Amino acid sequence: MKAKNLVFLFFTTLLIGAFSGVLTGLVLDWSTYWGDLKQGDIVSFLMVILWLFGVSSIFSLISQMGFFAYLTIHRFGLGIFKSVKLWNGVQIILIIFALFDLVYLRYTGFAEPDESWLNYFWIALLLLIIGLAVAYKKQKETNKQAFIPTLFFIVVVTILEWIPALRGNDFKWLWLIFFPLLTSNIWQILVLHRLAGRKA
């Protein structure tokens, strides 16, 4: 990949992640920010926007580090297992474990007495559905071998990057971190083959 394409990928990912975080933050606490605007406190509103942009940019950068780490791991995996099918099988197992842990560990760590585990299941289901949709699009634009690696990246790598928020279990922080990570990851995986100039 050319240097200018790497620069393009870096800045577009940064901006996409940052703006998605700003939108998420505004939606999660809109009543407060709308109150500032109605009172004419535009400076406070702009400061909040700037803060959300900065925080979201941090997680966009984490997403980029995770992306290039995964590209390296993917190559190692192909080299170690000497077979795309075998490496894909390993990735499927890891996807299942990651989704199971996302539900089980959060349930055992945060569930109230008599609270159903289903309250913790829907987040994993949402991530899986998004991952399947992105993997399908990637496959359509490249080749069928891209489906499992894309699903692995969207599900497993996003969960790993999301761990700081998952440990805290604060509703606002869960989503304020999740959306910048997810949008950044989706953008990177879907634009990679276009920038690389090949179907891979």
d(CA 43, CA 49): 10
Buried b (16+ CB within 10 A) or exposed e, 138-159: bbeebeeebbbbbbbbbbbbbb
Is residue 200 predicted with pLDDT exceeding 50? no
pLDDT in tens, 32-61: 766 666 676 778 778 888 999 999 999 999
Between CA 34 and CA 139 the distance in angstroms is 42
Residues in CB range of 28: below 8 A, 6 or more apart: 172, 175, 176
pLDDT beyond 80 at 84: yes
**Structure confidence by residue, pLDDT tens digits, 60-80:** 999 999 999 999 999 999 899
Question: Quick one: tokens of 57?
Answer: 């940019």
pLDDT at 198: 58
Q: Per residue in 95-136, pLDDT tens?
A: 999 999 999 999 998 888 888 888 889 999 999 999 999 999
Across the chain, what does the average pLDDT equal? 90
Regarding pTM above 0.85, the answer is yes
